[in-house]
Amino acid sequence: MKTPTGKTAPKRTPAPARTEAAEPAADTSGRQRLMDAAIVEFSEKGFEGTSVLAIARRADVKQPLLNYHFGGKEGLWRAVVESTYTEAMASIDAMQVDEDTADALTKLRSALRVFAIINVLHPAAHSLVLREVAQAGPRLDWIIEHYMRPFHELLDALLAECQAEGLIKPYPRAYASVMMTSLLTSVQSSMHLIKRLYNVDPMSPEQAAQHTEQTIDLLLNGMLTDPGKKNR
CATH number of the domain bearing residue 126: 1.10.357.10
Residue 184 lies in a domain: yes
Range of the domain at 146: 78-225
Give how far Cα 164 sits from Cα of 23, 27, 95, 159, 168, Å: 57, 53, 22, 9, 9
Residue 23 lies in a domain: no
Confidence at residue 232, expressed as pLDDT on a 0 to 100 scale: 52
Residue 4 lies in a domain: no
Confidence at residue 122, expressed as pLDDT on a 0 to 100 scale: 80
Confidence at residue 32, expressed as pLDDT on a 0 to 100 scale: 92
Confidence at residue 98, expressed as pLDDT on a 0 to 100 scale: 55
Residue 20 lies in a domain: no
Residue 161 lies in a domain: yes
Confidence at residue 231, expressed as pLDDT on a 0 to 100 scale: 54
Residue type at 152 in one-letter notation: H
Residue 54 lies in a domain: no
Give the integer Cα–Cα distance in Å for 50 and 41.
6
3-class secondary-structure state, position 8? strand
Residues of the chain with pLDDT under 50: 1-26
Domains: count for the chain: 1
What mean pLDDT is reported for the chain? 80
Confidence at residue 229, expressed as pLDDT on a 0 to 100 scale: 57
Give how far Cα 148 sits from Cα of 36, 138, 152, 171, Å: 22, 14, 6, 20
Confidence at residue 90, expressed as pLDDT on a 0 to 100 scale: 72
